[in-house]
A and B are shown apart, each in its own frame.
Chain A
Amino acid sequence: MESRAFDRRRWRQLPVALGLLAPSAIILGAFIVYPIVKSVFLGTERCNASGTRCVEGGWDQYTDTFRSTEFQHALWVTAKFALITVPLGLALGIGLAVLAHKHLAGVSVFRAIFSSTVATSVAVASLMWLFLLQPSVGVLSNVGWIADAFPVVKQPGLLNDPDTALWSVGLSSVWANLGFTFIIITAGLQGIPDDVYEAAALDGAGGSRRFWAITLPLLGPSLLFVLIVLTSRAFQAYGEIDLLTEGGPRPDDSTTTITYLTYGRNSIMATDLGLQATTAVLLFVVLLGLSFLQLWSLGRRVHYGD
């Protein structure tokens, strides 16, 4: 009885609920849902650059594109990019956050420094790395012992060598994302009550034991969040690639990720709006699957507190 009355009351509130939801629903619908649906259908067509003339390609355009050499290569590059940037970014972020979490005089200065890359745009960060890595006049190549120990810095240059280009771009990306990771993990650390550590210390747990048994597990939610965000960012990286390598070095296109294949200025699909939509939707599907996978495999193990 009681629950039915509750139901009826709830239905009566429907108009109010819809009215309250309307602003965000309309905005979401117009700017998120509609473009996604439109892109999905655009992805079945081949179009000219302005999208005014399209030829129906059919749904197999998705499978054809997914299986094409260009997309397979880009997917592989993207996966490598994520495997470079995500673990490295996580490890460095945790390390710095734990270091800066000590209650020491002047530690706030270091916190400000470590989080400063959050305020640095991709363009500025990439240009800075370009000046560091440029083979002729760059800083690294003009430090004598570095140039001697690693000739690749000088010729052809870290960004021009197919073996080091992706790592170099990845490094700049890690650096640029470090501030974000640092801030989230610092916030997570501050949420861990000190008495847990004190109890552990009384039981005789040493520093590294406390880190592995308390800090990491209790950071779970923050880590999961950072992991998913960093993975998405790695899959969507564009600015640093465009500024540092333009998807090169040729002919291997060692840094042509899926985003660069889609939007890149020199991409084979740059004049075809339909094909660009195809790869964009494929990227969306890949990322969606990956996020579910991460939530599913790690989410169950994360401890959200009581």
Chain B
Amino acid sequence: MRRAALPALVVAASLLVAACGSGESAITAGQDDPADTDADNDAVATDDADASTPDSTPDDAGDETDGTSPTDSGDETDGGDETTASTPDTTPTEVSLDEYPACPTDALDGADGPVEITYWHGMTADNEEALQFVTEQYNASQDRVVVELQNQGGYLEVIDKYYQSGASGRPDLVMFPEYGFQQAIDSETIVPVEACVRDAGFDTAVIQPSAIQAYSTAGVQWGMPFNVSNPILYYNELIFEAAGLDPDQPPTTFDELRAMSQQIVDSGAASYGIALDTNIDSGGGWFIEQWFANAGELFVDNGNGREALPTEVLFDQATGVEIVTFLRDMVADGLAVNVGDNAGGSDNFLKMADAADPAAMTIGTSAGLGTVINVLGSGLVEGLTPDDVGVGGLPGPSAEQTAIVGGAANYVVAGDDPEVVAAAWDFLTYLISPEVQSEWAVRTGYLPIVDQAIELEPLATTYANDPRFRVAYTQLANSPNDLAHAGPQIGPHRQVRDETAAALAAIYNGADIESTLAAAAATSNALLQQYIALNG
């Protein structure tokens, strides 16, 4: 009796639960009439189309190519040219900032004694030490501002803690990754950096235009880019040599990637050409956005979300199908290995160190280059020294190697004290000075966002001695300044990435490409609509 009771109850409970299932997603939970939501949300979306962007009325027909935008050529494949044409005017005086918190950059002059500010960041290990180094130098170099660093453990921890804090618990300066951009704006707690730039008369022309554009929307720059990275190709030069490939000529396009992988596998130099994954911050999400940019295509509508909150994802259209088909075929044909979700982000790299079934290449963030070299330098991987790892630009659909700005930006947090805002701005300008960017890039592997930094020591020597560190910089400098390369600006960015990642994982497992992408797009669109309803 006793032994039977509990399992019986469990079975009864699970039957009850199973009978309860509605088969609907939780995204629409609490919305009384699901049938009406589309119409409602479209109305919200239309209201949301900002007055400052008169040409961005969302297209209710759901077809991007029929957009009402005057710059729209009506031809999907012209995405690149079209987006270049519609690049928002960067002349700052166009957009009024009256509705946003002000940035009195001269308030520091009136301060009695040093102003203390707290700065929440997500840098760990070597990167944290580098940040501590430049911050200590800043604190020692002047007596008006004292910056206190507070490490939150990672980007996601910064985001979680920031949004769960009340006004008194927030820092004065905060670091958010690129996928936290839209949310930062919608938190209504941020002083747009644009206000500081205008107030101080700061010349942003010294900064990489793509880095500025990545953190700007509708003509307003919100965050100041600081640590910028993009994905690069890591490859084992020993395997390249063994396969009869030139170790100085890594693949630059999808076609070359496939051909070289074929040669590596055929020659028996390695079990796989490349290790791919379905992590949302790499193969399942971030890289897909990068490949869209590389193809010159928008990832979401409304100018990649740069003109108004996006209402529709575009990854289920021709470009997405092409990219995913390429990836699927690589894995299906045994040229690539899918290492899965890659929790922690190291499984793809470790596949290169697999003694029995190694992969010759993988794709990872350029910010990981320092760590890769350190780990190999410690002798952890037998038979592979730091010099055996080659670095190339991200192979993609286009012949040109281009990328979206990744990494993070710093945001000035709105507060009552103008001196604190001014102090935060002062520290921001220090962080992007050529001297600091040069030091920072050498110590971390992030790329400098001011061109002048590459001529200064210690970066000049590093780039000359080890061109691998320069690859990500070159790749970003080559990228056109258009909306495709500004990258998608999405409120529920991680959730949308999770949809593409799950779709890709299903497709690697054999699911149909077009219908799987279409289903993921439908869920993503529901997420976008929900975001508009709550934040629009």
**Interface residue stretch chosen among A1-9, A149-157, A178-186:** A149-157
B339 at the A/B interface (Cβ < 8 Å)?
yes
A44 and B506 contact, CB distance less than 8 A: no
- Docked pose: A75 CA to B21 CA in angstroms: 11
Task: Enumerate chain B residues within 8 angstroms of A155, measured Cβ to Cβ.
Answer: 337, 357
Please determine whether B501 and A60 come into contact, CB atoms closer than 8 angstroms. Answer: no
- Asked whether, in the complex, the Cβ of A271 is within 8 Å of the Cβ of B502, the reply is no
Per CB-CB distance, the 6 closest pairs between chain A and chain B, nearest first, are A57-B30, A61-B30, A160-B340, A250-B505, A67-B22, A248-B341
B5, B340, B530: residue with the most chain A Cβ atoms closer than 10 Å: B340
A136 contacts B347, C-beta separation under 8 Å? yes
Give the one of A49, A69, A134, A253 with max B CB within 10 A.
A49
Within 8 A of A (CB), among B475-524: 491-492, 494-495, 497-498, 501-506, 509, 511, 523
Partner of A70, one of B25, B30, B501: B25
A52 CB within 8 Å of chain B: yes
* Contact indicator B534/A64 (Cβ below 8 Å): no
Chain A residue nearest to B498 (CB atoms) is A266
Which of B6-14, B100-108, B395-403, B420-428 contacts the other chain? Answer: B6-14
**Contact A136-B30, Cβ < 8 Å, known A49-B163, A72-B21, A250-B501:** no
Asked whether, in the complex, the Cβ of A75 is within 8 Å of the Cβ of B347, the reply is no
Give Cα distance in the complex from A279 to B22, angstroms: 16
> Measuring CB to CB, which residues of chain B are less than 8 angstroms from any residue of chain A?
2, 5-6, 9-10, 14, 17-18, 20-32, 156, 159, 163-164, 183, 186-189, 278, 280, 284, 337-341, 343-344, 347, 350-351, 353-357, 381, 491-492, 494-495, 497-498, 501-506, 509, 511, 523, 527, 530-531, 533-535
Q: What's the minimum C-beta distance from B519 to chain A, rounded to whole angstroms?
A: 10
Distance (Å) between the CB of A229 and the closest chain B CB?
16
> Is A64's CB under 8 angstroms from B28's CB?
yes
Which among A91-99, A113-121, A238-246 touches the partner chain? A238-246
Known interface pairs A250-B278, A250-B501. Does A65 touch B354 (Cβ–Cβ under 8 Å)?
Answer: no
Q: Besides A70-B26, A136-B339, 5 other CB < 8 A contacts?
A: A136-B347, A157-B340, A265-B494, A274-B30, A297-B5
Interface: A146 (CB within 8 A): no
Q: Whole-angstrom distance between the alpha carbons of A46 and B41 in the complex? A: 14
**Neighbouring A residues of B340 by C-beta, 8 Å:** 156-157, 159-160, 248-250
Q: Which of A68, A136, A243, A298 contacts B24 (CB 8 A)?
A: A68
Given contacts A48-B535, A50-B163, contact A160 B341 (CB under 8 A): yes
Closest residue of B by beta carbon distance from A227: B6
Could you say which residues of chain A place their CB within 8 Å of the CB of B25? Answer: 68-70, 268
Does B350 contact A137, Cβ atoms closer than 8 Å? yes
Selected from B17, B31, B506, B533, the residue in CB contact (under 8 A) with A72 is B17
Q: Which B residues touch A66, using CB under 8 A?
A: 20
Counting chain A residues whose Cβ lies within 8 A of the other chain, the interface size class is 35 or more
Provide the main secondary structure of the chain B interface. helix
Q: Are A137 and B353 in contact (CB under 8 A)?
A: yes
B6 contacts across to A, CB distance below 8 A: 294, 297-298
Q: Once the chains bind, are B343 and A248 in contact (CB under 8 Å)?
A: yes
Chain B residues in 8 Å Cβ range of A52: 187-188
A65 near B26 with CB under 8 A, answer yes
Task: List the B side residues contacting A58 at CB < 8 Å.
Answer: 30, 32
Q: A274 — nearest CB in chain B belongs to which residue?
A: B30
28 A-B contact pairs sorted by A residue (CB < 8 Å): A44-B30, A46-B29, A50-B164, A57-B30, A58-B30, A61-B30, A65-B26, A68-B25, A69-B24, A70-B26, A72-B20, A83-B10, A137-B355, A156-B339, A157-B340, A248-B340, A250-B278, A250-B501, A266-B495, A268-B27, A268-B495, A268-B527, A269-B26, A272-B530, A275-B29, A279-B26, A293-B9, A298-B2
Q: How far is the CA of A245 from the CA of B535 in the complex (A)?
A: 31
A257 to B341, CA, bound (A): 17
Contact status A137-B354, CB under 8 Å: yes
Q: Is the CB of A67 within 8 A of B24?
A: yes
Q: Judge whether A64 and B21 touch: CB under 8 Å.
A: no
CB pair A301 B29 closer than 8 Å:
no
Q: Does A89 contact B (CB under 8 A)?
A: no
Q: What residues of B have a CB within 8 angstroms of the CB of A159 in the complex?
A: 340, 343
A253 partner residues in chain B, CB cutoff 8 A: 502
**For the complex, is A76 an interface residue (Cβ under 8 Å from B)?**
yes
**Does B534 contact A76, Cβ atoms closer than 8 Å?**
no
A298 to B339, CA, bound (A): 45
Chain A residues numbered 51-83 whose CB sits less than 8 Å from any CB in chain B: 51-55, 57-58, 60-61, 64-72, 75-76, 79, 83
Q: Which of A88-142 contact B (CB under 8 A)?
A: 130, 134-137, 142
B234 CB to nearest chain A CB (Å): 14
CA distance A79 to B11 in the complex (A): 11
Chain B residues with CB under 8 Å of A50's CB are 163-164, 187, 189
User: Are A136 and B354 interface neighbours, CB within 8 A?
Assistant: yes
Whose C-beta in chain A lies nearest to the C-beta of B341? A248
> In the complex, are the beta carbons of A251 and B503 less than 8 A apart?
yes
Alpha-carbon gap, A189 to B343, bound state (A): 41
How far is A67 from B353 in the complex, measured between Cα atoms in Å? 45
Task: Check A272 against B343 for contact (C-beta < 8 Å).
Answer: no
Does A270 reach chain B (CB closer than 8 Å)? yes
Shortest C-beta distance, A96 to chain B (Å), equals: 23
- Contacts A52-B188, A136-B354, A160-B340 known; A301 to B2 CB distance under 8 Å? yes
A68 to B22, CA, bound (A): 6
A136 touching B353 by the CB < 8 A rule? yes
Question: Smallest CB–CB gap between A293 and chain B, Å?
Answer: 6
Is A85 engaged at the interface, CB distance under 8 Å to the other chain?
no
Q: How far is the CB of A240 from chain B (nearest CB, A)?
A: 11
Please report the C-alpha to C-alpha distance between residue A157 and residue B340 in the assembled complex, in whole angstroms: 9
Contact A46 B534 (CB under 8 A): yes
Please, which residue of chain A has its CB at the minimum distance from the CB of B30?
A57
Residues of A within 8 A of B355 (CB): 137, 142
Contact B353 A272 (CB under 8 A): no
Partner of B533, one of A55, A245, A293, A294: A55
CA distance A268 to B26 in the complex (A): 8
Question: Is A176 on the interface with B (CB-CB < 8 A)?
Answer: no
Residues A61 and B29 in contact, CB atoms below 8 Å apart: yes
* Contact for B351 among A44, A79, A136, A251, CB less than 8 A: A136
